[in-house]
Amino acid sequence: MRSRFLYIVCGLVLIGVSVKAQSIIPEDSLRQQLLLLQTDMDRVKVNLGLAQAKFQRGIALATIGYSVTIAGGLMLGRSNDKLGQGLLIAGGVTGIAGTFLLVDSFKYLGRASGNPKRKR
């Protein structure tokens, strides 16, 4: 009975050692994978930095533009009607430009993800 148990334990140990020996990854492969991972992370950081800068500029520009539009709208129908109309147009154009920057900043996030852009 003891000998059977000993044979079973030895057999399981030998099987475990052979499986472990087969799953060892070469050191060069690990270094390559680590360098690829580091390169991917650097690319992600650069794209996120670009997205953040463009996003912040877009928020600032859109906020200023739409604030000017509101100020222009408040001036309509009063003594400064012409100025109000000019502020409406200028603020609207500025707000649209800021919104375009906001939307455009998301292309860097797409690049950071590494997923190719799908065309519909």
DSSP 40-62: HHHHHHHHHHHHHHHHHHHHHHH
Which residues, other chains included, contact 88 with Cβ-Cβ below 8 Å and sequence gap of 6+?
A: 69, 72, 73, 76
| Assigned domain for 67 exists | yes
Q: Which domain holds residue 85?
A: 61-113
Whether residue 88 contacts residue 69, with contact meaning beta carbons closer than 8 Å, is answered with yes
Q: How many domains in the chain?
A: 1
Mean pLDDT on 56-78 = 91
| Assigned domain for 33 exists | no
pLDDT class for 108, splitting at 50, 70, 90? confident
pLDDT for residue 120 is more than 60: no
| Assigned domain for 106 exists | yes
| Assigned domain for 103 exists | yes
pLDDT for residue 116 is more than 70: no
| Assigned domain for 34 exists | no
| Assigned domain for 80 exists | yes
